[in-house]
Amino acid sequence: MSATQHLQSLVEEDWHAATHHAFTNALAHGTLSRDKMAGYLQQDYQFIEGFVRLLASAVAHAPTLADAVPGAQFLGLICGPENTYFLRCLQALEIPPTAPTAPETIAFQQLMNQAHRSGRYEIMLSVLVVAEWIYLDWASPFEDRADDLPFWLGEWITLHSGDGFAQVVAYLRNQLDTAWDTLDHDARTQVTATFAEAVRLERVFFDASWAGFAVAK
Ligand SMILES: Cc1ncc(CO)c(N)n1
């Protein structure tokens, strides 16, 4: 079993809850209300800011150029097509990009900031692997539905499924699997705790999205 498989196996219940969520099921079936998607997007756009900084930091800490390049390309994807997706959604749903930051978003921002400031590649990867792998897991079964949905739902599935995105997740997991082999017991304990906390926060973020974030107008 790879290190990342092992880490996932330790948090099976939260993992399953986050990847088979009522929020993403409704999103994929086109039954999610505009208001719930709007609230999610306003909060997730704030998540993305911290995510971009964390990914940039991981790129800076990659051991070689070959290890950095796929991460840098993914950074380009987030700052390109994904950022544009957010801006198009906000315009279509007629909501501003700024909203008061919800506690569930703040918790994630704090974890990402902590990982960033740790200066430790394996801690950064622990959060990045969880964030992208959970999205690949929930979105992949719905890949075929994307085209029949309004773009603000369908493109969110497309951005998190398919071969290209699977390769991003494989790259991030491989970076963490490789780093894991070099870690001592203490460092592994910290990776395990960071990974578990990220999974828990993904679940909490979807719970709050499904309950409905307040939408700033
Ligand atoms: C909260 C959260 N986790 C993961 C992703 C995937 O990048 C996202 N957009 N938002």
Percent of the chain exceeding pLDDT 90 equals 100
Are 140 and 161 within 8 A, CB to CB?
yes
User: What does the alpha-carbon distance between residue 164 and residue 208 come to, in Å, rounded to a whole number?
Assistant: 29
> From atom 9 of ligand 1, which residue's Cα is the shortest distance away?
44
**Is 202 an active-site residue?**
yes
204 pLDDT band, cuts 50/70/90, is very high
Residue 139 falls inside a structural domain:
yes
The confidence score (pLDDT) of residue 148 equals: 95
168 pLDDT band, cuts 50/70/90, is very high
* ipTM for this prediction: 0.98
Catalytic residue among 122, 155, 197, 202: 202
Domain span including residue 145: 3-211
Residue 129 falls inside a structural domain:
yes
CATH number, position 69: 1.20.910.10
Distances (CA, A) of 151 to 49, 86, 139: 22, 11, 15
Q: Please give the distance, rounded to the nearest whole angstrom, from the Cα atom of residue 132 to the centre of ligand 1.
A: 7
Residue 217 falls inside a structural domain:
no
Query: How does pLDDT run across 82-125, given as a tens digit for each residue?
Result: 999 999 999 999 999 989 999 999 999 999 999 999 999 999 99
69 pLDDT band, cuts 50/70/90, is very high
- Residues having CB closer than 6 A to ligand 1 are 44, 47, 108, 131-132, 135, 202, 205
User: What does the alpha-carbon distance between residue 203 and residue 159 come to, in Å, rounded to a whole number?
Assistant: 20
Residue 26 falls inside a structural domain:
yes
User: What does the alpha-carbon distance between residue 153 and residue 147 come to, in Å, rounded to a whole number?
Assistant: 9
Residue 174 falls inside a structural domain:
yes
* Number of domains the chain contains: 1
Cα angle vertex 65, ends 61, 68, to 5°? 55
Q: Please give the distance, rounded to the nearest whole angstrom, from the Cα atom of residue 118 to the centre of ligand 1.
A: 21
